Amino acid sequence: MGNFLSPPEKESSNNNKQPSVQPNSRKRKKKSSSLTRESYNVKKEKQKGRGKEKEKEKEKGSQKLKRKRYNTNATKKPRQQTQRISQTQQTQRKSQPQQNQNLELTKRKRPIKRKVVLMFSYCGTGYHGLQIQYGELKHIKTVETDLVQALIKCNAIHPRNQEDVKKIGWSRAGRTDKGVHSARQYVAFKMEFSYDEEQMVIELNKHLPSHIRAWGIRRVPKSFLAHKRADSREYAFLLPTFLFSGKKVQLIEPNFETKNNFVDDKVLFDKFDSEALSFLNQKVFSQFVGTHNFHNYTKKKNFSEPSSKRYIKRMEAEEPQTIGGIKFVLIKIHGQSFMLHQIRKMMTIAITVMRGGEKLSFIEESFGQQQLRIGIVPGDGLLLNKVFYEVYNNQKMGGIDKGDIYFEEKDQQIEEFLQNKIYKKVSQLEKENHTFRRWLNNYYQYPIERK
């Protein structure tokens, strides 16, 4: 009996030894693992569902694109019809008066802008220089104010750009002072092409006053700047010959030194003839040619400043000519660049030497370190004659030959403009205002001073 009952006792003893918590904990672990598996499976099913939804959305999107393509292909013919209708409307508008044409211009698309350079001439009498002014000086009349207004009327630039021409990349070859003229001035800007170049010049001249004339337009690269691309400039000065000769000239006010109202000085030449002309070119003007320090010929420049040095290529006076009953001589000065009042003070020195006020050596002395007070000849006869773009003309910009910037074919028309609009105006002003005679009177009262 004992043997029979022993195994169950062992089992019971073993059961009693094991803790009661272990079976429950095992069951809990099994439950937690089953929950994680279920949640994992649910997530997978959700992801699969989302993937199917995305695929459905892609299919819908592709179907929409196909429908759009089909619709565009289907509506091509009606678009062609609307274009034909607009063309017929345009032909009808052409027959309508000019008021409807202005409406058409406002509705049309903006034309493409191209960088161009414009060459033009102008008589500077009555203008306060070339450059357009803004702000407090907006009311001042300049040459560019009339030019910009004419360009707006031709639809070459937008009206909003007149407030600041820098927006269209505006640059000029050289600035001219009050009353100074120009035979060949250049401005570069972005132009809206409503016409071709030749027709644009014709339309522009219709809106310009008679003393401003446009001659030609050339396309240039976007980076083109009219003043920086210029290699050199040539100015011309139309002056009465009595400034250089010993002819007695009646003054507006009496000269207190001579106690009369006539200029009577120890001049080199009694009259301005061929001998006086050759002396002026060979002895006087030749001393200005080359590189010199022109600090005495401008404002606020010192001898030590590198920018005071300027290079003059050529300076020569032409044969005298009679304009409006007054004998004038045209002097041309070709240089790399010029400073403010430089040319006008150069003329003062030349007149001083020719009238015996100073010796020939005084010209070389004026380039020295000593400061001089030099008067300024009136600028009524001064004009910008030519601007040279030799380096630019010899190279093809961007592989495209856009044409030379000179317009040689317009030389004869420009010469006629000079004779009729500028030279005659200078002679007329001298007759009416006696500008150079008055200056000669002040010249004797306030000669050149050494500081």
- C-alpha distances (whole Å) from 284 to each of 124, 353, 383, 416 are 29, 8, 21, 30
Looking at residue 3, its pLDDT comes to: 47
Residue pair 449/349 in contact by the 8 Å Cβ criterion:
no
DSSP letter at 432?
Answer: H
CA distance 233 to 236: 10
Helix (H) or strand (E) holding 91: helix 76-95
Residue among 342, 350, 343 at smallest CA distance from 283: 350
Q: How far apart are CA 278 and CA 332, in angstroms?
A: 15
Highest mean pLDDT among 50-64, 154-168, 243-257, 389-403: 154-168
H or E element: which one contains 108?
Answer: none
Cα dihedral sign, 428-433-435-436: positive
- Residue 446 counted as an annotated binding residue: no
DSSP designation for 290: E
Active site residue 177: yes
Q: Which residue has the higher pLDDT, 141 or 66?
A: 141
Report all structural domains of the chain as residue ranges with CATH numbers, in order of start. 99-228 (3.30.70.580), 234-388+414-450 (3.30.70.660)
Given the residues 177, 265, 270, 273, select the one marked as catalytic. 177
Q: What is the mean pLDDT of residues 233-249?
A: 86
Rounded Cα gap, residues 260 and 217, in angstroms: 55
CA distance 278 to 282: 6
* pLDDT > 50? residue 17: no
Confidence class for position 69, pLDDT limits 50, 70, 90: low
d(C-alpha 178, C-alpha 343), whole Å: 15
Q: Is the pLDDT assigned to residue 290 strictly greater than 70? A: yes
Q: What average pLDDT does this structure show over 214-237?
A: 96
What are the CA-CA distances from residue 194 to residues 132, 149, 158, 165, 246 (Å)?
24, 16, 12, 19, 58
- At residue 423, does pLDDT exceed 60? yes
**Three-state secondary structure call for residue 76:** helix
How many Å apart are CA 305 and CA 199, to the nearest integer?
48
Three-class SS state of 41: helix
The answer to whether 226 and 117 have CB atoms below 8 angstroms apart is yes
CA distance 440 to 430: 13
| pLDDT higher at 85 or 171 | 171
Distance of CA 157 to the CA centre of its chain: 14
Cα gap 94→292, rounded to integer Å: 63
370-398 mean pLDDT: 90
Percent of the residues in the chain that have a pLDDT greater than 70, as a whole number? 69
**pLDDT tier for residue 356 given thresholds of 50, 70 and 90:** confident
Helix, strand, or coil (residue 122): strand
Distance CA 240, CA 426 (A): 10
